[in-house]
Amino acid sequence: MNKKERIERLKKEKNAIILAHYYVDADVQEVADYTGDSFYLAKVAKATDAKAIVFAGVEFMGESAKILNPEKHVYMPDLHADCPMAHMATVEEINKMRETYDDLAVVLYINSTAELKTYADVCVTSANAVKIVKNLPQKNIFFIPDRNLGNFVKEQVPEKNVMTNEGHCPRHTIITKEDVIKAKQKYPQARLAVHPECTKDILSEADYIGSTAGIIDYVVGSQEQEFIIGTVDGVFAKIHELAPGKILHTVRENQICPNMKKVTLDKIITVLENENNEIILDHEVMDQALKPLERMLELAK
Ligand code: 13P
Ligand code: SF4
């Protein structure tokens, strides 16, 4: 029996499903029951009636799944697969802003720890941040921990006073304007599609800005054939599956997320067999963190 067959058998035996983010390797995406962006996967996690979820992604994704569906067992193939940006905001920063502004909404990117979520008014993902911020009753918005997504939202929703902290994704901010110029010179026919975690000077060069699912839809649905992609190259797998003829380039070499790369077929087999690496969260944290996540699901409808 090969690895994929073993995983299929274990999934049935354990009544488990595998959710995979578009950033994990193609072979992992292939064994998943659902692949998607953070928003889609959160919705699937909430709705599933499987007994267990193996989350092929990073820690905040597994935590969100557990919080949204606390009766389920949520397992991480690698407990060290963590998103550094998830830790780039502090309770002190939030408290200070709450003291300064009466009319404030703390808008927390889902790429954040469960503990931070207990202090938020609403969570967002890159797929719904603009829509949600636009519809909040508050004028002042403290958008954390991604200053680039926050600044993108600020531009799209100029009627709000959007403030950010210094958090950012190291994998997207490593892409420079010079990289973009070089890539455009090398592939002059190509359209540029980027994730809003990139810096503003990159976004200003783009033909399309959106979440990983948005980028995939844009490329697959476009009449054009050649694209430069400004996000982790895991998204190539879905595009190749849906539109095999498209020619894809990264902006620069090595556009990977090392934490997403920690997820492998062998580790999935191990957690399915041993039911180890389970996400365990304090009940009070789960209750408090559920509120901003549910508000996101409500406001994004
Ligand atoms: P998505 O919201 O597109 O899933 O992106 C998540 C992420 O981690 C981007 O770096
Ligand atoms: Fe976090 Fe960036 Fe990796 Fe996304 S790409 S999981 S934001 S480190």
The response to whether residue 14 sits with its C-beta less than 6 Å from ligand 2 reads no
Residue 240, phi then psi, degrees to nearest 5: -60, -35
Specify the residue for token string 């606390």.
Answer: 70
pLDDT, tens only, 238-278 = 999 999 999 999 999 999 999 999 999 999 999 999 999 99
Ligand 2 contacts CB of residue 21 (under 6 A): no
What percent of the chain clears pLDDT 90, i.e. is strictly above it?
A: 100
- Given pLDDT bands bounded at 50, 70 and 90, which one contains residue 301? very high
Which ligand gives the minimal distance to the CA of 214?
1
Is residue 232 within 6 Å of ligand 2 at its C-beta? yes
Tokens standing for 131?
Answer: 């829509």
Q: Model confidence over 208-248: pLDDT tens digits?
A: 999 999 999 999 999 999 999 999 999 999 999 999 999 99
| Residue 75: per-residue pLDDT | 98
pTM, 2 dp? 0.97
Among the atoms of ligand 1, which is closest to the Cα of residue 171?
10
At 125, which amino acid appears? T
pLDDT band at 26 (very low <50, low <70, confident <90, very high): very high
- What are the tens digits of pLDDT across the range 145-172? 999 999 999 999 999 999 999 999 999 9
Nearest CA to ligand 1 atom 6: 38
CA gap 248, 225 in Å, rounded: 9
The predicted pLDDT at position 161 comes to 98
What does the CA dihedral 136, 22, 146, 132 come to, rounded to 10 degrees? 0
Q: Which of 40, 111, 199, 263 to mutate to test the pocket of ligand 1 (most atoms within 8 A of CB)?
A: 111
Could you tell me which of 68, 8, 70, 79 has the C-alpha nearest to residue 38?
68
- At residue 245, φ and ψ (nearest 5 deg) are -80, -15
Pocket of ligand 1 (CB under 6 A): 37-38, 111, 125-127, 169, 195, 197, 211-212
Range list of H helices, the chain: 3-14, 26-31, 38-47, 59-68, 91-100, 114-117, 129-135, 147-156, 170-173, 177-186, 200-203, 212-221, 235-242, 265-274, 283-299
Q: What percent of the chain has pLDDT over 70?
A: 100
What is the predicted pLDDT for the residue at 216? 98
Average pLDDT, the chain: 98
Cβ–Cβ < 8 Å for 112, 60 = yes
Give the torsion through C-alpha atoms of 51, 3, 258, 68, to 10 deg: -10
Query: Could you give the residue ranges of the DSSP H alpha helices within 74-125?
Result: 91-100, 114-117
- Ligand 2 atom nearest the C-alpha of 84 is 8
Q: Which ligand is nearest to the CA of 40?
A: 1
Site to substitute for ligand 2 among 80, 169, 250, most atoms within 8 A of C-beta: 169
Does the Cβ of 195 fall within 6 Å of ligand 2? no
pLDDT band at 184 (very low <50, low <70, confident <90, very high): very high
Mean pLDDT of all residues in 23-49:
98
